[in-house]
Amino acid sequence: MKKIAVFTSGGDAPGMNACVRAVVRTTLRHDHQAVGIRRGYQGMIEGDFWAMEAHSVSNIIQLGGTILRSARSQDFRTPEGRAKAYANLRANDIDGIVAIGGDGSFTGARIFMEEYPDIHMVGCPGTIDNDLYGTDYTIGYDTAINTAMNAIDNIKDTANAHDRLFFVEVMGRDAGFIAMNVGLATGAEAVLVPESKTDVNNLIDTLNSNYSNKKNSSIVVVAEGDESGGAFKLAEEVKKHCPYETKVTILGHLQRGGRPTCMDRVRSSRMGVAAVNALLEGKSGVMIGEINGEIVHTPFEQAIKYHNEINPMLLEMVDILS
Amino acid sequence: MKKIAVFTSGGDAPGMNACVRAVVRTTLRHDHQAVGIRRGYQGMIEGDFWAMEAHSVSNIIQLGGTILRSARSQDFRTPEGRAKAYANLRANDIDGIVAIGGDGSFTGARIFMEEYPDIHMVGCPGTIDNDLYGTDYTIGYDTAINTAMNAIDNIKDTANAHDRLFFVEVMGRDAGFIAMNVGLATGAEAVLVPESKTDVNNLIDTLNSNYSNKKNSSIVVVAEGDESGGAFKLAEEVKKHCPYETKVTILGHLQRGGRPTCMDRVRSSRMGVAAVNALLEGKSGVMIGEINGEIVHTPFEQAIKYHNEINPMLLEMVDILS
Amino acid sequence: MKKIAVFTSGGDAPGMNACVRAVVRTTLRHDHQAVGIRRGYQGMIEGDFWAMEAHSVSNIIQLGGTILRSARSQDFRTPEGRAKAYANLRANDIDGIVAIGGDGSFTGARIFMEEYPDIHMVGCPGTIDNDLYGTDYTIGYDTAINTAMNAIDNIKDTANAHDRLFFVEVMGRDAGFIAMNVGLATGAEAVLVPESKTDVNNLIDTLNSNYSNKKNSSIVVVAEGDESGGAFKLAEEVKKHCPYETKVTILGHLQRGGRPTCMDRVRSSRMGVAAVNALLEGKSGVMIGEINGEIVHTPFEQAIKYHNEINPMLLEMVDILS
Amino acid sequence: MKKIAVFTSGGDAPGMNACVRAVVRTTLRHDHQAVGIRRGYQGMIEGDFWAMEAHSVSNIIQLGGTILRSARSQDFRTPEGRAKAYANLRANDIDGIVAIGGDGSFTGARIFMEEYPDIHMVGCPGTIDNDLYGTDYTIGYDTAINTAMNAIDNIKDTANAHDRLFFVEVMGRDAGFIAMNVGLATGAEAVLVPESKTDVNNLIDTLNSNYSNKKNSSIVVVAEGDESGGAFKLAEEVKKHCPYETKVTILGHLQRGGRPTCMDRVRSSRMGVAAVNALLEGKSGVMIGEINGEIVHTPFEQAIKYHNEINPMLLEMVDILS
C-alpha cells in the first residue's frame, strides 16, 4: 500500500475531524502517505486531493464540522462518474481509502468496490443519528445529545416560568436515539420516537392528568422521523384537547455542529486508528465499530441493512421518572 | 415602609433570579420584610405571596428562568382585578414593590399607580431584547446574545462543511440588538434588523458575488421583527435568485433560558440593590437602568415610549468585516 | 418493604441528583415511601431524614453536587455510631437503602450489613474517578472528563500562542481514566497515569525531539496519583533538561461539579431505577453497574477489591496521535 | 500609507483573533495591504511577516488564543534589536502598525516611536485583566470573567455538598476587576482585591459568624495580586481560627483561553476597525478604547500610567448580598 486517502461524506458530525486526524497520523506513522479527498465522492471525481502532513491535522481535534468538507454527488451515481473517480485514484497511486460517513456513503462504497475491487475501502460511522448497525455509538452522537439537551434545559427554564407545554423536535429521521436520551436527560413528560407507535390519545390523557395535578409545565420531545408527523402537527392535535399554553421549537441544524465531547473525540480517534490498521491488514468493505468497548468490523451491507434497537428499559423509564 | 414585594412579569430572562435575590437581601439588610409575589400581576390578584428569608434566595443567582414565575394577567387589565390586587397588598402591609419586566409590566404599573398612588413601584428592566429606553443593557440580554451566538457557531460548522447558505432567525420583535451583535460575532454575511429597511435585491447581489468569489458558505441573521417577514419568507425569495443550497433555522425559545453570564448576574444584582434603595428614598414610578456604568432612574412612561438606537457603526461593520 | 431510603456519600459527582431522583420516583411508583438521608452515614446517625415526594426531586436532574449533601463520618467507624444509625433506621421503618458513593461508602455498607443484616443495602457507583469494578462507567465520570477537557482546551490556546509546555494535573488518585481520555481528547504529548510506570527520561527525549522539530507547544496530562509525584514535581524535573518555557496547572476541584452530561443523567437515572428494583427483588449487598449496556449486580466486596484496567490501545494511541 | 501590519503581544486574550481579523479586513477594504507579524516584537526583529488576505482570517473570530502568536522579546529592549525591527519594517514598506496587547506592549511601542517616528503605531487593549486606562473594557476581559465564573460555579456544587470553605484564586496581578465581578456573580462570601486592604481578622469574624448561623459553605475569591499573598497563604491563616474544612483552588491559565464571548468578539472587532481608521487619519501613539459606548483615543503614556478604579458600590454589594 502506497497511499491511504480519507474523506468525509453525508451530514457532518462532530468528531469527524478527530477521525481524519487519526487516519492521517496513523498512516504517516506507518510510513505511508496520507491524502485528504475534499467534498467526498464529488471531490474524488473532480480530483480534489490534498497531500496531508502531520501538521495538516494539528489543532483540529476540537473542531466541529469537517475540514475535508462534505457534499452530495449525483455524478457518483453514474458509472461514468465512478470511472472518473477510479481513474483519479489510480493516477494518484491511492489503493486504500477510509470513508467517514453514514448509510449513503457506505452504499456508494459498496457499488464502487464491486466495480473496482482493487481499491480497498474501510468505513467509519460518522453520523449524529446513531442509526448504524455494527457499533454502539456513531461519531458525533454523544455531542449531538449534549447539544440538544442543553438547548432543552434552556427551554425548560421558560416552560417552568410560564406554566407552558413545549413540543421540541430533535433530529432523527429513522432512529429515536437522540430523542430518547435527550428526553430522559431533561425529564421530559413524553418522548416520541419512530421505533414505537405514538398513541396521541394516551399522551393527551397523561398531559391532562398532569395539569389537574398542578404540574404546570411539561416538555414533550419528538424525533423528526416520528410517525406523528413532527412537533408542529402533534402540537396542533394536542392543543385541541389540552388546557396548557403550547409552544413548538424545532432544534434543527444547531444539533449538528459544535465542539466534540470527550467521548466523541476519543472514539473517533480510536476508530480512525482502527480503520488504517484494517486497511494495512488487507481488510476491505467493512465498517469499523465499537461494541462493548471492543473494535469490531462489520461488512457494509450489514451496517446498512440492520438497525440498532432502543433499549426498551429506556422507554419505560420515561414513564416512571417523569 | 414595612414590607417590600418583588415580582417578575413578561417573558422570563436570565438574571431575573439574581435580581430577585438582590431585592430580597437588600430589603432584609435594611430590616424590612421581603415578600415574593408569584406569577406577576396575576399572583397579586390571587394573593399568591411568599414571605422570603435570606435563604429563600440561596443558590439561585446562577439559574435561568425565574423562581417567582411569570404569567399574563387579563384580570389586571380590569379595574376590578386591580382593586383586588390593591386590597391584597394592603392586607399584607406591602407599600413598596419592585417589578422586574419589560414594556407590558411597566404599562401595567403606570395604570395601577395612578389609581393607587400609595403603593410605590420601581422597575428593573427584565427582557432579553434590550429594547427599553433608560438603560444600556437589560437583564438577560448579555446571556441571550451568547446563547444565540453559540447556536450559530454550531450552524456555521455545517454551513462550512456543506457550502450552504443559512438563514437564522433570532429573537427581537421590535429591536435588532440581538441580531446585530450576534451577526457581527459570528461573521454573518448580512444582518437584517427592524431598525433599517432591507434591500432584498442588494442582499441577493452580495450573495451571488460571494458565490462567484468561491465564498462557499454564508450565514444571514434575521431579527424576527424584520419587515422582510422573517427567515422563512426571506429564504424563499432569495432561493429563487441564488445558486446556494439554502437552509432555515428559527432559534426560538432556547434563546430565553440558560445560566446567566457574569455581566447579567452582576448587573441584575446591582439593579436589584438600586431598586430597593430607590424605594427607601421615596422614589416611585421609575425604572432602574445602567447608563455609562452609572445607575439612572427613568420614569416608566419614558422607558416605554422611547427606544434605544443601534449604533450605526455596527451596521457598517457587518459590511466591512464579512 | 415499607420505606426505601437513599443517601449520597464520599466525594460529590455530577449525576448523583439524577440518581436520587430516580430512586425516589421509582420507589413512589411502587407505592412505597421514599426517605432522603442527608450527609450520608453521619446523617443516618443523627437521624437527619427527609420524607420525599415526587416534587422533592423536581428540577434537580440537571444539577451538579447533591441535594442530599455528603460528609465524612468518624462516628460510623465505631460500633456505637452504627448502633445509633441502626436504631434510627428501625425507628423510621426503613428496611431498604440505596447508597450512592464509592469505595469508602461501600466498605461502610459491608460492615454495617454484617452487623445488621435485616437492613438491605444496594449501591450505585457515584465517583468521577471511574475506579469501581463492576461497571463500565461510574456516575459523574463522563461529566468530569468533559469539564477537564474544556479546561485543557483553554490552556492549549495559551500554549499555542506562547510556545509553552504545560503540565496539567487532573483528578485520579488510583486510576488514570480521566487523565488518559482527557489527554487523548486534547492531543496531549504525553499522559502519565498510575497504572503505568513513567519513564521521565523518555518523556524528556520526546519533548526535546518535538522542540527540534519546531513543535512549539505541548501539553502533558498527569493524573494526581501518578507515581511521578504530580505535575509540579514532574515539571521541576523536566525543566532542567528541556528548552521549553514550562507552566503548571492543577485543575483541582472544578472537575468535580457542574451540570451532568446527557450520558451521566441517563446512566444515573437508569442505575437509580435498577437499585430500587434490586431491593424490591430482595437483593442486598450489591452494587449496580452497567456493563456492555446491561445492568449488572456486583457484590460490594468485589466492587471494592478489583479494579478496571485502562485499555492498552489507548496508551498506544497517545504515542501515535500526538 | 502602503501597508498596515498587525501583531499581538503579551499574554494572549480571547478576542485577539477577532481584532486581527478586523484590522486585516478593514485594511484590505481601503485597498491597502495587510501584514501579520508573528510573535510580537520578536517577530518584528526576525522579519517573521505574513502577507494576509481576506481568507487568512476566515473562521478565526470564534477562536481563543492568537493565530499571530505572542512572545516576550529581550532583543527589543536593546537599541540594536529595535534598529533591526525598524529595518525590517522599512524593507517591507510598512508604515502603520496596530499593536494588540497590554502595558508592556505599549511601553515598547512608545520607546520605538520616539526613535522611529515615521512608523505610526496605534494600540488595541488586549489583556484579560481590564487594567488599562482609556477603555471601559479590554479585549478578553468579558470572556475571562465568564470562564472563571463557570469554574467557581462548579466548585460551589462541591462546597455546598460538603460544607466546605473554598479559597479560589483568580487572575489579576494589579487589578481586582476579575475577582470582584466573579465574586459577585458566584455569591462569594468575600472578595479580596489589590485595590483595597484586606482585614483578615474581619474576614475570620464573618466566616465564624456564618458558621454559627448554619451557613455551611462559603467561597472566598482572591485576586492573585492581593496583598494577603494569594489563596494558599490566606487559607493557612484563616484555617487556624475557623471551624470550616478549607480547600484552595488556583484557577490559573485556564482563565486565559477559550472561545470569546459575544461582547468580546464585537468589541474586539470594533476596536480593530477603529485602529485602522485612526492610522488612516494620521493618528499615532494612541490606544483605542471604548468608553461609554464610544470609541476613544488615549495616548500610550496615559493608558500605561493611570488605572481604572473599581466601582465602590460593587465592594459594598459583596457585603450586602452574600
Contact D69 C252 (CB under 8 A): no
Residue D200 grid coordinates: 483578615
Residues C234 and C217 occupy one common structural domain: yes
> Is A317 among the domain residues?
no
Chain B hits for D149, CB-CB cut-off 8 Å, are 261-262, 265
Question: Is residue B212's pLDDT more than 90?
Answer: no
Q: Dihedral angle at the C-alpha atoms of A291, A295, A298, A302, nearest 10 degrees?
A: 20
Residue C127 grid coordinates: 465517583
Predicted local confidence at residue D215, as pLDDT = 79
Contact D154 C254 (CB under 8 A): yes
Residues of B noted as catalytic = 129
Which CATH number is C9's domain given? 3.40.50.450
Q: Choose one of D199, D225, D256: the last residue of a domain.
A: D256
Q: How many structural domains is chain B composed of? A: 2
Residues B14 and B135 occupy one common structural domain: yes
Residues of C noted as catalytic = 129
Q: Choose one of C235, C256, C277: the last residue of a domain.
A: C256
Residues A125 and A270 occupy one common structural domain: yes
Let me know if D163 is a catalytic residue.
no
Question: For chain A, what is the HEC assignment?
Answer: CCEEEEEECCCCCCCHHHHHHHHHHHHHHCCCEEEEECCHHHHHHHCCEEEECHHHHCCCCCCCCCCCCCCCCCHHHCHHHHHHHHHHHHHCCEEEEEEEECHHHHHHHHHHHHHCCCCEEEEEEECCCCCCCCCCCCECHHHHHHHHHHHHHHHHHHHHHHCEEEEEEECCCCCCHHHHHHHHHCCCCEEECCCCCCCHHHHHHHHHHHHHCCCCCEEEEEECCCCCCCHHHHHHHHHCCCCCEEEEEECHHHHCCCCCCHHHHHHHHHHHHHHHHHHHCCCCCEEEEEECCEEEEEEHHHHHHCCCCCCHHHHHHHHHHC
Instruction: For residues D107-114, give the mean pLDDT.
Output: 97
Contact C149 A186 (CB under 8 A): no
Contact C173, C129 (CB under 8 A): yes
Q: Give the β-pairing of A245-250 and A218-223.
A: unpaired
Predicted local confidence at residue A322, as pLDDT = 87
B81: closest CA of chain D, how far (Å): 35
Query: What does pLDDT average to in each consecutive run of 10 residues of chain A (322 residues)?
Result: 92 98 97 98 98 96 97 96 98 97 96 97 97 97 98 96 95 95 97 92 92 86 93 95 94 97 98 98 98 97 92 92 90
Residues B67 and B109 occupy one common structural domain: yes
Pairwise CA distance, residues A179 & A172, whole Å: 7
Owner of C-alpha cell 475540514: A67
Contact D253 C63 (CB under 8 A): no
D149: closest CA of chain B, how far (Å): 7
Pairwise CA distance, residues A263 & A272, whole Å: 14
> Is A162 among the domain residues?
yes
Residues D168 and D157 occupy one common structural domain: yes
A237: closest CA of chain B, how far (Å): 21
Comparing CA positions, the residue from C93, C26, C25, C7 lying closest to residue C278 is: C26
Pairwise CA distance, residues B266 & B260, whole Å: 10
Provide the H-helix boundaries in C240-299: 262-280
Residues of C with CB under 8 A from a CB of D: 8, 11-12, 14, 63-66, 69-71, 147, 150-158, 160-163, 166, 247, 249-258
Pairwise CA distance, residues C164 & B219, whole Å: 36
**ipTM of this complex prediction, to 2 decimal places:** 0.96
Residue A61 grid coordinates: 481535534
> Is D59 among the domain residues?
yes
Predicted local confidence at residue A294, as pLDDT = 96
> Is B289 among the domain residues?
yes
Q: Choose one of B241, B256, B271: the last residue of a domain.
A: B256
> Is A204 among the domain residues?
yes
D8: closest CA of chain C, how far (Å): 9
Chain C hits for A160, CB-CB cut-off 8 Å, are 59
Contact A158 B257 (CB under 8 A): yes
List the domain range (segments joined by +) for residue B29: 3-140+260-305
> pLDDT per residue over C180-221, tens digit each?
999 999 999 999 999 998 889 999 999 999 888 877 789 999
Residue B17 binned pLDDT confidence (cut-offs 50, 70, 90)? very high
The residue from A31, A93, A95, A129 that is catalytic is: A129
Contact C293 A311 (CB under 8 A): yes
Predicted local confidence at residue D1, as pLDDT = 62
Residues C74 and C49 occupy one common structural domain: yes
> Is A314 among the domain residues?
no
Residues C288 and C247 occupy one common structural domain: no
Residues A46 and A79 occupy one common structural domain: yes
Residues A250 and A270 occupy one common structural domain: no
For residue A153, the chain B residue with the least C-alpha distance is B258
Share of chain B above pLDDT 90, in %: 92
Contact C320, A26 (CB under 8 A): yes
Predicted local confidence at residue C211, as pLDDT = 87
Give the helix/strand (H/E) hosting C36. strand C33-37
Chain A hits for B9, CB-CB cut-off 8 Å, are none
Residue A297 grid coordinates: 468490523
Instruction: For residues C24-33, give the mean pLDDT.
Output: 97
Residues C24 and C52 occupy one common structural domain: yes
Q: 10 Å Cβ neighbour count for D86?
A: 17
Pairwise CA distance, residues B150 & C239, whole Å: 39
Predicted local confidence at residue B1, as pLDDT = 62
Q: Exposure string (b/e) for C285-307, b if CB count within 10 Å is 16 or more?
A: bbbbbbeeeebebbbbeebbeee
Contact B153 A258 (CB under 8 A): yes
For residue A152, the chain C residue with the least C-alpha distance is C62
More confident position, B217 or A302: A302
Number of Cβ pairs closer than 8 Å across B and D?
Answer: 109
Predicted local confidence at residue C322, as pLDDT = 87
Contact D99, D109 (CB under 8 A): yes
Q: Give the β-pairing of D94-101 and D3-8.
A: parallel
Chain B hits for A105, CB-CB cut-off 8 Å, are none
Instruction: For residues B270-299, give the mean pLDDT.
Output: 98
Instruction: For residues B221-246, give the mean pLDDT.
Output: 93
Residues D53 and D102 occupy one common structural domain: yes
Which DSSP category does C39 fall into? T
> Is D45 among the domain residues?
yes
Chain C hits for D70, CB-CB cut-off 8 Å, are 161-162
Beta pairing partners, D126: D139
> Is A315 among the domain residues?
no
> pLDDT per residue over D167-212, tens digit each?
999 999 999 999 999 999 999 999 999 999 888 999 999 999 988 8
Pairwise CA distance, residues D194 & D254, whole Å: 21
Nearest to C146 among A153, A261, A311 (CB): A261
Residues B88 and B31 occupy one common structural domain: yes
Share of chain C above pLDDT 70, in %: 100
The residue from D12, D48, D129, D226 that is catalytic is: D129
Give the burial class of D85: count Cβ atoms within 10 A of its Cβ; 0-12 exposed, 13-18 middle, 19 or more buried.
buried
